[in-house]
Amino acid sequence: MLSLILKRLGIGVITVLAVSVIIFFGTKILPGDAAQIRLGQEATEANIAALRERLGLDKSYAEQYLTWLRNFVRGDLGVSLSGDAPITSLIANRYENTLYVAVLTAMIGVPISLALGIAAAMFPGSYYDRILTFVSVSLVAAPEFFTATVLVLLMVFVLGIGNAVVVGSVEGKGFFELIAHFALPITTLCFVIASQLIRMSRAAVLNVMSSPYIEMAILKGVPRRRIILRHALLNAIGPIVNVIALNLAYLVTGVVVVEVYFGYPGLATLIVQAVQTRDYVLIQALGMIFCLTYVLLMLVADVAAITSNPRLRHPK
C-alpha cells in the first residue's frame, strides 16, 4: 500500500513539474507585454525598459522560470505585474467565493447524483432509467453558459427567484443564506456534475452486476436492492470515486464560464483578468494552484480506490 502511494506521489510531482513548464512558457506566447499594458501606449521606450528591468522581464526565459519555480516551492507566489500587489492578497480576496460555491455544490449535487445513478442501476431498462439517461446525456451536450441562460430565463424572469448577477458580501451568512445567495451558480454546476456522476455511477454498478458472485446472489433470490447496496456498490466505488474527484477539481478550477456569467469575483474570473492584463506571474500562480488541486484530489481518489478494492492492492 505504501509503495503504491509513493508511486502515485512520484507521478504527481512529475505531473506538477511538467505543468509548470507548460504554464510558464505558455504565458510567454501571449501577445502583448505587461510593462506596455501597465504604462499605456503613451509610455516611452526608456520607461518601458526600466519597468521591464524592475519586474525581471528582461532576463532570459530560463532564468525567469527557475527563479519563479524556486519562489513557488518556498511558498512565495510573487507580486502582480499589473499592480505590484502581493498575489497571496489577491487570491485571499477571491478564493472564498469559489470555495463557497464549490463546497455547497458538492454537498448538494454529489449525493443527489449518486442516489439517482444507483436508483437507475436498480431498475435498468425502465422508463425511469431511460428518462434519466436521456436527461444526463442532454446535460453533457449542453455547455455551461447555455444551462445558465435557461436557468436565468426560467428562475429569474419567469418565476422571480434568485438574481442573474451575484452581488453582495457573504460575511455572516448561514448555510441556507449562502445557498440562496449562490442559488443560480450552484444549480448550474449541480446540473454539470450530475450529467457525469449519474451516468458513471450507473455504469459502474451495472458493470459489477455482471460478475459471477452477483449472478449467484440473484439465483439465490436476494433482493436486487440489497445486492446493489451491500455488494455491488462497494466493488464499484473505485471508478465512482475517481469521477467524484474529477468533478470536485472541476468545481474549484473549471468554473470560469459560470463565474464570468454570473459576475461574482472568484479565482476563475481573477485568471481571466490576469490574461487580459498579461499578468504572467498571476496566471502562473493560479495555474499551479489549479494543477495542485487536481493532483491532490486524484491522489485521494487513487488511495480510496486502492483501499476499497483488494484486487488493486494485489494486481497479480
d(CA 139, CA 143): 8
What is the mean pLDDT of the segment spanning 36-44?
Answer: 66
Q: According to the per-residue pLDDT averaged within each range, which of 21-25, 75-79, 170-174 is highest? A: 21-25
CATH number for the domain formed by residue range(s) 95-265? 1.10.3720.10
φ and ψ of 79, to 5 deg = -120, 140
Tell how far CA 118 is from the center of its chain. Answer: 23
Task: Identify the pLDDT of residue 33.
Answer: 65
Task: Identify the pLDDT of residue 310.
Answer: 64
- pLDDT of residue 316 exceeding 60, the answer is no
Residue closest to 207 by CA, chosen among 178, 174, 169, 236:
236
What does 243-275 look like in DSSP terms, one character per residue? HHHHHHHHHHHS-HHHHHHHT---HHHHHHHHH
Task: Identify the pLDDT of residue 80.
Answer: 77
183-209 and 144-151 helices cross at what angle (nearest 10)?
120
Task: Identify the pLDDT of residue 42.
Answer: 67
Task: Identify the pLDDT of residue 54.
Answer: 74
Task: Identify the pLDDT of residue 34.
Answer: 64
- pLDDT of residue 315 exceeding 60, the answer is no
- pLDDT of residue 233 exceeding 70, the answer is yes
Of 21-25, 31-35, 224-228, the poorest mean pLDDT is in 31-35
Report the DSSP beta bridge partners of residue 86: 79
User: End-to-end alpha-carbon separation of the chain, Å?
Assistant: 14
d(CA 193, CA 113): 8
In which residue ranges of the chain is CATH 1.10.3720.10 found? 95-265
What is the mean pLDDT of the segment spanning 65-78?
Answer: 82
| pLDDT band of 32, cuts 50, 70, 90 | low
What is the mean pLDDT of the segment spanning 25-29?
Answer: 77
Q: Are 315 and 47 within 8 A, CB to CB?
A: no
CA torsion angle 204 209 212 218 (round to 10): 160
Query: Residue 121 burial (CB < 10 Å; 0-12/13-18/19+)?
Result: buried
Query: Residue 64 burial (CB < 10 Å; 0-12/13-18/19+)?
Result: buried
What is the mean pLDDT of the segment spanning 284-289?
Answer: 85
Task: Identify the pLDDT of residue 1.
Answer: 67
Residues in Cβ contact with 271 at an 8 Å cutoff, skipping those fewer than 6 apart: 256, 282, 283, 286, 287
Q: Are 118 and 202 within 8 A, CB to CB?
A: yes
Residue closest to 262 by CA, chosen among 82, 83, 105:
105
Task: Identify the pLDDT of residue 224.
Answer: 78
- pLDDT of residue 285 exceeding 80, the answer is yes
Task: Identify the pLDDT of residue 195.
Answer: 83
| pLDDT band of 245, cuts 50, 70, 90 | confident
Q: Are 290 and 248 within 8 A, CB to CB?
A: no
By residue count, the chain amounts to: 316
| pLDDT band of 311, cuts 50, 70, 90 | low
pLDDT tens-digit readout, 92-146: 878 877 888 888 888 888 889 888 888 888 888 888 888 888 888 888 888 888 8
Task: Identify the pLDDT of residue 241.
Answer: 79
